[in-house]
Amino acid sequence: MAIQRLFIANRGEIAVRIIRAARELGIRTIQAYSEADADMLAVRLADEAVCIGPAPARDSYLDVGKVVAAAKAAGADGVHPGYGFLAESSAFARAVRDAGMTFVGPSAVTIDRMGDKVAARQAAEAAGVPVVPGSKGRVETVDEAVEIADQVGYPIMIKASAGGGGRGIRIAENSEDLRKLAPMAQAEALAAFGDGGFYLERAISSPRHIEVQIVGDGTRAVHFYERECSLQRRRQKVWEEAGATCLDEETRQDLCRSAVSLAEAVNYCGAGTLEYLYDPTRNEFYFIEMNTRIQVEHPVTEMVTGFDLVKEMILVCGGAPLSVTQDQVVKSGHAIEVRLNAEDPFMQFLPFPGKVGKLSLPEGEGIRFDHFMYEGYQIPPFYDSLVGKLIVHGKDRADAIARISAALEDLEIEGLKTTAPLHKALAKDRDVASDAFHTQWLEPWLEAGNLTRAQTGG
Amino acid sequence: MSQVLSPLPGTFYKKPSPDAAPYKSKGDQVAVGDTIGLVEVMKTFIEVKSDASGTFREYLADDSCPVMAGQPIAGLE
């Protein structure tokens, strides 16, 4: 049933974004907020607002019981989780539905399935989507490992079955290496995790992070093309583009079609993103994981397709069929988003939760600024440092870079330190201009002092 | 007698991890630069270091509670 009263279980810029989308659909909005967020922009914009607990997120935005009870008490018939917090919690999705409300996202079963790396990889393989080449499950002996590695190719990663978060990973350059490292990895895994099992995966040295936006209605899914998000610091994206100009047209079509196959195979409902690693040297892409929510960088896709993803996810989760067919999704030009975080890029990105002074925002055709600031707003220190996203749309990539550069010059946020200087420097960088970067590019670039040099003009 | 102040607003922690002991207890010697606690600001953990030396008396802020920049978090004597 179509949602009439939407509870927004999130904060910051995405809460503002959801309120705007709901309002255009004629849906009444109820904004959740913590005690530290009573004066945030989304509270001012929403039709109603409900305090759900104290400042720490675990006592408010992350408390399933409190959020569901508040939504129910407010008479909501739908709950939008945004991104982060409880957006990918199957327990939350289940609790919302058990309370008789619509969850704006996929089913709890789908969240669990796609949130588990092994299950997601199996679902991908079953749908014919390529995954990073490697062993099929656990490898027990060194001879078996060498045999598999000869098929997969070197360099190859040896990963502990019980490991995680980068722990228990070794890279072998050749079979001699592998024979030496595999027993060590086995012994180490046994000592660290009580399980000596390991598996093998091809090591991709300078991969690009490319992802595909999809929306499904539970039966049918469409893609909204790809995004390029390789500029990352500490595994956080800082600059995102739509599309990925490093792909040729045939690869792009294959990539986007694979995402639709996987989304349809799991009867996906809502907005989702399939993340891939792309190996430019082989011109091959591999599915790595799926995010079962709207993403921070969704606006670049909206800019190039002219399609409102947040409205569509609210509609399909309310039971409507997809409003478009694949051939109606048309892409034009190129878009770039930069994330403005309240951090000092010249002080190791130290958070800077200041009070917003005078705001001068860039305006004009092809410029969008998604944010939650107003003059006099004190940014609370308890949550994420993202304060805004500057997005531009150009006729091609070079034009988009020129526009982001110009828009950044017109942006002024007094009272805060932000990552704007980083983006100004990136927009003038030669490697960025020639699209010659990968996921391991930005951190060495920062360590080499490129940002400070750009600042001093040296 | 002196106080250690929080350099930033955020959430204060007396302990390096939930299961660990507090950084300091009553009677501990404190040297300049010793870590007294953590402040979590925008998902980043910042160590709060003492800029004075002395004997640790008490924490003045509660564990896992919001603090303001400049707020006293510990007292030394």
> What is the spatial distance between Cα A290 and Cα A121, in angstroms, rounded to a whole number?
10
Residues of chain A with C-beta less than 8 angstroms from the C-beta of B9 = 353, 381
Short-list A116, A150, A119, CA closest to A133: A150
Instruction: Specify whether A361 is located in the same domain as A256.
Output: yes
Q: Quick one: closest CA in B to A55, which residue? A: B66
Q: How confident is the model at residue A170 (pLDDT cuts 50, 70, 90)?
A: confident
For B:48-67, CB contacts with A below 8 A are 64, 66
Would the CB atoms of B42 and A56 count as touching at under 8 Å?
Answer: no
Select from B11, B12, B42 the residue whose CB has the most chain A CBs within 10 Å, as the one to mutate to test that interface: B42
Q: Do A225 and A184 belong to one domain?
A: no
Same domain, A179 and A326: no
How far off is chain A from B74, nearest CA to CA, in Å? 20
Same domain, A294 and A428: yes
Report the CATH number that the domain containing residue A190 is assigned in CATH: 3.30.1490.20
Give per-residue pLDDT as tens, A275-314: 999 999 999 999 999 999 999 999 999 999 999 999 999 9
In tens, the pLDDT along A119-153 reads 888 899 999 999 999 988 788 889 999 999 999 99
Q: What is the DSSP letter of A206?
A: S
* Residues of chain A numbered 31-60 and touching chain B (CB < 8 Å): 36, 55-56
Mean pLDDT (whole number) for A337-347: 97
Q: Check CB contact under 8 Å for A351 and B42.
A: yes
* Residue A37 C-alpha, separation from nearest chain B C-alpha, in angstroms: 13
ipTM: 0.85
pLDDT at A246: 97
Cα separation, B45 vs B66, in Å, equals 13
Does one domain contain both A283 and A322?
yes
Report yes or no on A181 lying in a domain.
yes
Domain that holds residue A147: 142-202
What proportion of chain A, given as a percentage, has pLDDT over 90? 87
Range of the domain at B62: 2-76
The alpha-carbon gap from B55 to the nearest alpha carbon of chain A, in Å, equals 30
Interchain CB contact of A125 with B (< 8 Å): no
Q: Say if A126 falls within a structural domain.
A: no
Q: Is A382 on the interface with B (CB under 8 A)?
A: yes
**Does A61 share its domain with A151?**
no
**Partner-chain residue, chosen from A342, A382, A384, that has the shortest CB–CB distance to B11:** A382
Q: Do A306 and A419 lie in a common domain?
A: yes
Q: Which residues of chain B have a CB within 8 Å of the CB of A236?
A: none
pLDDT value at position A168? 67
Asked whether residue A14 carries a pLDDT value surpassing 70, the answer given is yes
Distance (Å, whole) CA B45 – CA A88: 24
Instruction: Identify the three-state secondary structure at position A54.
Output: coil
Q: Where residue A78 sits, what CATH number does that domain have?
A: 3.40.50.20
Contacts of A317 (CB under 8 A, 6+ apart): A3, A78, A102, A103, A104, A105, A269, A270
Mean pLDDT by 10 residues, chain B (77 residues): 93 93 97 96 94 96 93 96
pLDDT of A17 over the 80 cut: yes
Does A179 reside within a domain? yes
- Mean pLDDT, chain B, as a whole number? 95
- Both A265 and A342 in a single domain? yes
Tell whether A338 and A436 lie within a shared domain. Answer: yes
Q: Are residues A88 and A215 in the same domain?
A: no
Number of domains making up chain A:
3
Tell me the per-residue pLDDT of A176-186, one tens digit each, with 9 for 90 and over.
999 999 988 88
CATH number at residue A232: 3.30.470.20
The residue-averaged pLDDT of A66-78 equals 98
Compare CB distances from B43 to A55, A350, A384 and report the shortest one's residue.
A384
Q: What is the pLDDT of residue A236?
A: 93
Does A123 reside within a domain? no
Q: How far is CA A328 from CA A217, A255, A322, A431, in A?
A: 16, 18, 11, 34
My answer on whether A357 and A254 are in the same domain is yes
* Per-window interface: B 14-43 vs A, CB < 8 A: 41-43
User: Any idea which residues of A carry the catalytic annotation?
Assistant: 293
Query: Is residue A118 in a domain?
Result: no
Cβ(A3)–Cβ(A27) below 8 Å? yes
- What's the mean per-residue pLDDT of chain A? 94
Task: Look up the CATH number of the domain holding residue B7.
Answer: 2.40.50.100
Same domain, A226 and A316: yes
